[in-house]
């Protein structure tokens, strides 16, 4: 969890200034969705989590 929150702060809060809680409520699920599906990870051999899971299931 600590690792995720570190990524969240670096990827979302350090680059965007939210002027309202509504804006934050919109951005947070979008970031979590991106983090869980689209981000490229070196620990996953340069694949996104979805690509890595699909590759593992195909084997």
Report d(CA 24, CA 8) in Å as an integer.
12
- pLDDT of amino acid 1: 86
Q: If DSSP states are collapsed to H, E and C, what string results for the chain?
A: CHHHHHHHHHHHHCCCCCCCHHHHHHHHHHHHHHHHHCCCEHHHCCECHHHHHHHHHHC
Asked whether 19 and 38 are in contact (CB, 8 A), the reply is no
- Domain residue spans of the chain: 2-58
Rounded to two decimals, the pTM is 0.76
Model confidence over 3-44: pLDDT tens digits? 889 999 998 888 889 999 999 999 999 999 999 999 999 999
């Amino acid at each position: 969890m600590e690792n995720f929150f570190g990524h969240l702060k670096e990827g979302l809060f350090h680059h965007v200034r939210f002027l309202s809680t509504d804006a934050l409520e919109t951005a947070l699920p979008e970031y979590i969705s991106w983090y869980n599906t689209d981000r490229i990870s070196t620990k996953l051999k340069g694949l996104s989590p979805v690509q890595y899971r699909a590759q593992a299931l195909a084997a």
